[in-house]
């Protein structure tokens, strides 16, 4: 049976590239090495496909020819004075490049999903910088790993085993074995259960609680994992140490660590719900480690304080570099959200929220970001690609988005596509179309074509190019 | 294909020993030819103007992970310097780290047509090439960072030069690279745990090898592979007072690897490695010592890394150096370590005239440029954007060509720096012929780009025409006119087509990407050996690491026959 090897997984920011996919008669029948989330994508992607281009007529979405859909889209974009082009984090860099050219051509605003996830992280990096690395650097060297406000166990399931605590590196051995024996095999049972769940297709993450004494042998010479979160997640259960921070108190906790690192004393008993004694211990471990890293997620970027939180986290890491080596990395969600930032930046100088209405790139998040524009009701048309803002945007923004003429490019039917005026059935990049994407640490990898797409679907690149050409053709005719 | 005649210009073509001669150039099908049909060809009247080969830049950071993070880090750098879209050009931003399209246009406007991007982390090479695909107007190439790559460290530690050569050849092809780049050898591996090395005889922690052994080893590898360029070295201790000694040690350590008269090592942005003194307060110029050595040893080439007083962005693969700069300035700081290979860092920086250190750095660059006698072995760069953005080259040209220009700037710099500067004692002023050497001919020669940097028959028709009359203008006195002429070419011709005219882009062209393809006797064996160790070293698969040639928008491989 034909096996396609070294496939990258077009799902999460871990962007694993060791997936093996078994294909029979152009159908994916099995997936190896992927986590449950990744495997589900490869096995179930074909459901709920958009089959044909659709154009809204008399209030109904009806099938249309490609030419008609392209022409309609071009007209929508040309007639708009301030169109929005949004999405981009789940498509290839090649498509993003064309998208930027299109946005420039029509003088619109182009924004990617960072705007609603790690936007504050980017603003914070622009304020103070960031000390980071590629993930392999951590696999080889990190002996202290923080997951702060993120839950890799469910959102980036292979992150821990491929890149951090359970991975095997040149200077750091995996703690996997020790961990397994320590937990009396609970974890391997968990993995087994995950595998069983996968096969049975049930809820994969319904694992039992593990009760453990904390604090946990932090001074042992081995890799340590610390989880900071408002609730005890599955990641927290696998950690050597879990700090349950009170909601919206991350900033206080980070500042407390900064003080402790600077050898100051805290004259309170608790900070953000965590006993100071515990903080002292962890601060010592931070200073004493060879290489530490903080991964942070939406628990830090989207809770109260936002930019201030990230500033504090990055500053903590900067401070720590005076004592040892310490790095920090945002846990990016979509497999190519990092790539969206990267391509935006090399073409325009800015990573998201780019406004071309003056003929050159302008950037002022809060003003040129998609949610703000929608809330101010300034946009008069939209193009959404590989994203579902109707399901994810605040209500008012979503309402204003669908109020205007809307073009959607998506392989699947989504709440957004149902509200659109033109819908393009695209191929799945990374399954049916090749391309390039960037892992969360900005390592670029190829997206593979494993199976042939349905005959009536085109790739994002082709669809965008067609629209771009049509825009130029109509414009030159009108002149 | 268009035929062109460039008529009546004063031609400066040092590789063909043409020094300001009034002559015509014929162009057909993108190449310089002996003759074209005058009736069919388009004629460019270059009378009263200077004609040179298109500019060649041996070292400027224009694309890739580090450059792009620099762009992201500095929105404030872009706000005041924007380029609007035109019917021909894409929009973009500057200033110190321009977006890709803008980078291409700005080089073309200055008459530059070939650009070397000197700092490519192999693991992120795909990124570099994606950006180069979006950098129009110029031909380009990149140097992969190999001085701290584990394969190199291990092979050289174990004395396996041939294996090392095979691995280097493999990575050249895998990353589509052009030359062996070495940055703070050993120091970047040490930086993985926050450490550094102190001199070329220090031991690299955990690897039992010294920087000297790395430099010498890669120098030998470079010869075995018959690479078109020498090893390209950013020295240990860069940016530290007293480091001129390290620079001299670095040049000396490969002295006995040179045979015939050919250079075997290029010390890049030498200004940053030419400091005497023991700290910033006692900093003094080491340019005299370095120039003296270079004047007596033919195995070394240098580029300047000239400082210009402006706001810019420093970015190097030298993680520990960048960290030091962050501590010094308190500015925002980016660090990016790359597994198994290298590191990098970024810190915004403003060079101020009134700062003793910055003014001394400015002086050192020019001292080097003027004290090194042979212009074929020193090239004009700013290590863009480290010492200044590349758009400042015309200003540097005017300093090299005019004592007056230097004096005027001198008057406005830090007083103590002024008193210590060697510049007042230096009479030398570059001629246009020498400028043509340090901005194109010498660089093309050093890179063995045989179609570039000259206007002989068969050369690529990459030509810059500058509106200044060498018979009427004395560059020493009219240095401002010189500067202005070099800021915007009257014409830039790329591959036989007029692409820029009077500072305006009139045609957008793509430009090729050069890379070196060493032909080994047994390439398959290398691949097997790499494959076996691959997963231990990196977090990506062997099959996903190599960049296929089709990934390059316009691939231009250069085959070399290796001795292994
Ligand atoms: S961890 Fe993410 S990238 Fe890796 S297999 Fe799972 S979903 Fe795919
Ligand atoms: Zn450099």
Instruction: Give me the domain span that covers residue A102.
Output: 49-117+335-427+454-478
Helices (H) and strands (E) in chain B, counts: 20, 26
pLDDT digit string, tens, across residues A16-40: 999 999 999 999 999 999 999 999 9
Domain-wise residue ranges, chain B? 3-53+455-505
Q: Are residues A264 and A127 in the same domain?
A: yes
The answer to whether A131 touches A358, Cβ cutoff 8 Å, is no
- How many angstroms separate the alpha carbon of residue A423 from the centre of ligand 1? 28
* pLDDT: which is higher, A153 or A176: A153
Q: Is the pLDDT of residue B528 over 90?
A: no
pLDDT digit string, tens, across residues A258-285: 999 999 999 999 999 999 999 999 999 9
- How many angstroms separate the alpha carbon of residue A39 from the centre of ligand 1? 8
Half-sphere exposure of A311 (CA within 13 A, CB side): 11
* Token representation of residue B523: 């390439």
Contacts of B69 in chain A (CB under 8 A): 442
Question: Can you tell me the mean pLDDT for A67-72?
Answer: 98
Contacts of A311 in chain B (CB under 8 A): none
What is the predicted pLDDT for the residue at B523?
A: 74
**Whether residue A35 has its Cβ less than 6 Å from ligand 1:** yes
Cβ separation A127–B75 shorter than 8 A:
no
Q: Is the pLDDT of residue A203 over 50?
A: no
Q: Which helix (H) or strand (E) holds B121?
A: none
In a domain, A30, yes or no: no
In a domain, A270, yes or no: yes
Report phi then psi at B55, rounded to 5: -65, 150
**3-class secondary structure, B60:** coil
Considering only alpha carbons, which residue of chain B is nearest residue A329? B336
Residue A166 sits in a domain of what CATH number? 3.40.228.10
Q: Are residues A109 and A180 in the same domain?
A: no
Question: Can you tell me the mean pLDDT for B530-558?
Answer: 95
Alpha-carbon gap: A271 to the closest alpha carbon of chain B (Å): 28
Cβ separation A347–B63 shorter than 8 A:
no
**In A323-442, which ranges are E strands?**
325-330, 354-355, 362-363, 381-385, 406-410, 422-425, 435-438
Q: How confident is the model at residue A195 (pLDDT cuts 50, 70, 90)?
A: low
Sequence-separated (6 or more) residues with CB below 8 Å from residue B168: B146, B152, B180, B218, B221, B225
Q: Are residues A196 and A211 in the same domain?
A: yes
Give the CATH fold of the B3-53+455-505 domain.
Urease, subunit C; domain 1 (2.30.40)
Contacts of A133 in chain B (CB under 8 A): 335-339, 343
pLDDT digit string, tens, across residues B434-468: 999 999 999 999 999 999 999 999 999 999 999 99
Cβ separation A139–B539 shorter than 8 A:
yes
Give the residue from A330, A363, A389 where a domain finishes. Answer: A330
Of A136, A325, A358, the CB nearest to B194: A325
What is the predicted pLDDT for the residue at A188?
A: 52
Give the residue from A296, A314, A330 where a domain finishes. Answer: A330
In a domain, A436, yes or no: no
Residue A359 sits in a domain of what CATH number? 3.40.50.740
Which residue from A11, A90, A337, A339 has its CB within 8 A of the most atoms of ligand 1, so it is best to mutate?
A11
Give the residue from A330, A357, A375 where a domain finishes. Answer: A330
pLDDT digit string, tens, across residues A440-476: 999 999 999 999 999 999 999 999 999 999 999 999 9
Q: Which residues of A207-230 are buried (b: 16+ CB within 10 A; e: fewer)?
A: beeeeeeeeeebeeeebbbbbbbb
For B458, counting Cβ atoms within 10 Å of its Cβ (0-12 exposed, 13-18 middle, 19+ buried), the class is exposed
Number of domains in chain A: 2
Indicate whether this complex's ipTM tops 0.95.
Answer: yes
Alpha-carbon gap: A366 to the closest alpha carbon of chain B (Å): 15
Cα B507 from Cα B86, distance rounded (Å): 11
User: Residue A345: which of A126, A145, A172 has the closest Cα?
Assistant: A126
Question: Can you tell me the mean pLDDT for A172-189?
Answer: 58
Sequence-separated (6 or more) residues with CB below 8 Å from residue B35: B26
Name which residue sits closest to atom 7 of ligand 1, judged by CA.
A38
Determine if the peptide bond prior to A215 is cis (ω within 30°).
yes
Q: Are residues A139 and A104 in the same domain?
A: no
* pLDDT: which is higher, A192 or A349: A349
Contacts of B75 in chain A (CB under 8 A): 126, 349-350, 363
Cα B27 from Cα B44, distance rounded (Å): 11
Q: Are residues A174 and A228 in the same domain?
A: yes
- How many angstroms separate the alpha carbon of residue B181 from the centre of ligand 2? 10
- How many angstroms separate the alpha carbon of residue A255 from the centre of ligand 2? 37
Which residue from A156, A339, A441 has its CB within 8 A of the most atoms of ligand 1, so it is best to mutate?
A156
Sequence-separated (6 or more) residues with CB below 8 Å from residue A185: none
In a domain, A5, yes or no: no
Q: Are residues A274 and A129 in the same domain?
A: yes
Q: Are residues A400 and A255 in the same domain?
A: no
In a domain, A34, yes or no: no
For chain B, say whether A136 makes contact (Cβ under 8 Å). yes
Cα B252 from Cα B216, distance rounded (Å): 10
Mean pLDDT for all residues in chain A? 90
In a domain, A54, yes or no: yes
Q: Are residues A325 and A176 in the same domain?
A: yes
pLDDT digit string, tens, across residues B212-265: 999 999 999 999 999 999 999 999 999 999 999 999 999 999 999 998 889 999
Alpha-helix residue ranges (DSSP H) falling in B41-179: 65-73, 75-79, 100-109, 125-133, 150-157, 161-175
- Please report the number of interchain residue pairs, chain A to chain B, with beta-carbon separation below 8 angstroms: 179
In a domain, A53, yes or no: yes
What is the predicted pLDDT for the residue at B564?
A: 87
Q: Are residues A210 and A82 in the same domain?
A: no
Of A163, A351, A443, the CB nearest to B123: A443
User: B-contacting residues of A 263-322, CB under 8 Å?
Assistant: 290-291, 318, 321
Report phi then psi at A439, rounded to 5: -60, 165
Contacts of A6 in chain B (CB under 8 A): 541-544
In a domain, A438, yes or no: no
**Whether residue A110 has its Cβ less than 6 Å from ligand 1:** no
């Amino acid at each position: 049976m034909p096996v396609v090897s070294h496939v990258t997984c077009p799902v999460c920011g871990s962007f694993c590239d060791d997936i093996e996919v078994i294909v029979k008669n152009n159908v994916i029948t099995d997936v190896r090495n992927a986590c449950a989330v990744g495997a589900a994508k490869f096995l179930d992607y074909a459901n709920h496909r958009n089959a044909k281009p659709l154009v809204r007529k008399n209030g109904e979405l009806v099938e249309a020819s490609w030419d008609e859909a392209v022409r309609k889209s071009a007209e929508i974009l040309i007639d708009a004075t301030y169109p929005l082009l949004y999405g981009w984090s789940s498509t290839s860099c090649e498509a993003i490049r064309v998208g930027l050219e299109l946005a420039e051509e029509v003088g619109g605003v182009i924004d990617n999903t960072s705007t609603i996830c790690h936007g504050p992280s980017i603003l914070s990096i622009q304020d103070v910088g960031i000390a980071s690395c590629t993930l392999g650097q951590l696999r080889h060297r990190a002996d202290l790993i923080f997951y702060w406000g993120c839950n890799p166990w469910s959102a980036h399931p292979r992150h821990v085993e491929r890149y951090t605590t359970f991975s095997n590196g040149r200077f750091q051995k995996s703690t996997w074995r020790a961990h397994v024996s320590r937990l009396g095999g609970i974890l391997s049972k968990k993995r087994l259960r995950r595998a069983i769940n996968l096969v049975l297709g049930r809820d994969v993450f319904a694992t039992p609680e593990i009760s453990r004494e904390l604090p946990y042998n932090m001074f042992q010479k081995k890799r340590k994992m610390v989880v900071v979160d408002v609730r005890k997640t599955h990641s927290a259960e696998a950690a050597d140490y879990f700090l349950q921070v009170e909601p919206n108190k991350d900033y206080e906790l980070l500042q407390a660590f900064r003080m402790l690192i600077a050898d100051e004393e805290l004259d309170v008993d608790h900070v953000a719900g965590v006993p100071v004694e515990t903080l002292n211990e962890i601060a010592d471990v931070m200073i004493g480690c060879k290489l530490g890293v903080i991964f942070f997620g939406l628990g830090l970027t989207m809770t109260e304080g936002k930019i201030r939180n990230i500033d504090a986290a990055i500053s903590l890491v900067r401070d720590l570099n005076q004592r040892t080596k310490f790095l920090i990395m945002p846990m990016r969600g979509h497999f190519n959200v990092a790539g969206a930032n990267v391509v935006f930046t090399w073409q325009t100088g800015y990573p998201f929220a780019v406004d071309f209405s003056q003929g050159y790139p302008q950037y002022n998040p809060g003003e040129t970001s998609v949610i703000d524009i929608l809330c101010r009701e300034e946009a008069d048309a939209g193009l959404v690609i590989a994203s579902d803002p109707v399901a994810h945007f605040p209500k008012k923004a979503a309402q204003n988005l669908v109020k205007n003429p809307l073009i959607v490019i998506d392989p699947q039917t989504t709440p957004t596509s149902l509200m659109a005026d033109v819908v393009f059935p695209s191929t799945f990049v990374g399954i049916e179309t090749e391309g390039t994407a960037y892992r969360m640490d900005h390592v670029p990898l190829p997206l593979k074509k494993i199976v042939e797409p349905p005959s009536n679907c085109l790739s994002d690149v082709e669809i965008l190019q067609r629209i771009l050409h049509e825009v130029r053709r109509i414009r030159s005719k009108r002149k | 294909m268009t035929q062109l005649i460039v008529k009546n210009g004063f031609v400066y073509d040092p590789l063909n020993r043409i020094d300001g001669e009034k002559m015509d150039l014929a162009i057909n099908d993108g190449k310089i030819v002996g003759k074209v049909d005058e009736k069919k060809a388009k004629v460019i009247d270059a009378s009263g103007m200077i004609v040179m080969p298109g500019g060649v830049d041996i070292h400027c950071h224009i694309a890739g992970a580090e450059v792009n993070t620099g762009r992201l880090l500095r929105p404030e750098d872009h706000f005041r310097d924007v380029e609007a879209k035109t019917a021909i050009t894409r929009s973009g931003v500057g200033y110190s780290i321009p977006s890709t399209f803008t980078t291409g246009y700005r080089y073309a406007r200055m008459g530059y047509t070939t650009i070397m991007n000197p700092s490519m982390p192999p693991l992120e090479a795909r990124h570099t090439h994606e950006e180069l695909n979006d950098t129009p107007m110029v031909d380009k190439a990149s140097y992969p960072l190999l001085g701290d790559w584990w394969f190199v460290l291990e092979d050289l530690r174990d004395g396996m030069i041939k294996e090392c050569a095979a691995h280097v050849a493999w990575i050249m092809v895998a990353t589509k690279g052009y030359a062996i780049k070495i940055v703070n050898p050993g120091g970047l591996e040490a930086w993985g745990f926050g450490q550094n090395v102190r001199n070329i005889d220090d031991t690299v922690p955990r690897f039992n090898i010294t920087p000297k052994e790395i430099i010498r080893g890669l120098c030998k590898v470079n010869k075995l592979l018959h690479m078109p360029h020498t090893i390209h070295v950013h020295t240990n201790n860069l940016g530290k007072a007293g480091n001129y000694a390290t620079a001299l040690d670095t040049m000396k350590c490969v002295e006995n690897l040179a045979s015939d008269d050919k250079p075997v090592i290029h010390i890049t942005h030498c200004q940053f490695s030419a400091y005497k003194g023991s700290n910033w307060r006692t900093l003094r110029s080491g340019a005299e010592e370095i120039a003296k050595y270079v004047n007596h040893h033919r195995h070394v080439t240098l580029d300047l890394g000239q400082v210009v007083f402006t706001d810019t962005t420093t970015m190097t693969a030298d993680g520990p150096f960048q960290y030091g700069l962050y501590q010094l300035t308190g500015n925002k700081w980016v660090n990016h370590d790359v597994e198994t290979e290298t590191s990098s860092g970024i810190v915004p920086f403003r060079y101020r005239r009134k700062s003793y250190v910055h003014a001394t750095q400015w002086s050192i660059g020019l001292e080097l440029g003027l004290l090194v006698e042979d212009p074929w072995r020193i090239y004009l760069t700013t290590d863009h954007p480290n010492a200044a953005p590349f758009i400042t080259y015309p200003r540097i040209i005017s300093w090299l060509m005019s004592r007056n220009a230097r004096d005027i700037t001198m008057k406005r710099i830090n007083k103590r720096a002024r008193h210590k500067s060697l510049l007042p004692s230096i009479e030398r002023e570059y001629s246009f012929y020498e400028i043509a050497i340090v901005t194109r001919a010498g660089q093309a020669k050093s890179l063995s780009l045989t179609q570039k940097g000259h206007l002989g028959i068969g050369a690529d028709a990459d030509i810059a025409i500058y509106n200044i009359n060498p018979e009427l203008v004395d560059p020493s006195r009219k240095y401002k006119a010189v500067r202005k002429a070099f800021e915007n070419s009257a014409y830039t011709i790329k591959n036989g087509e007029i692409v820029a005219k009077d500072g305006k882009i009139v045609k957008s062209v793509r430009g090729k990407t050069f890379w070196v393809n060493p032909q080994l006797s047994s390439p398959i064996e290398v691949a097997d050996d790499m494959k076996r160790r691959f997963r231990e070293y990196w977090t990506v698969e062997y099959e996903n690491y190599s960049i296929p040639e089709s990934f390059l928008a316009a691939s231009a491989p250069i085959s070399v026959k290796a001795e292994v």
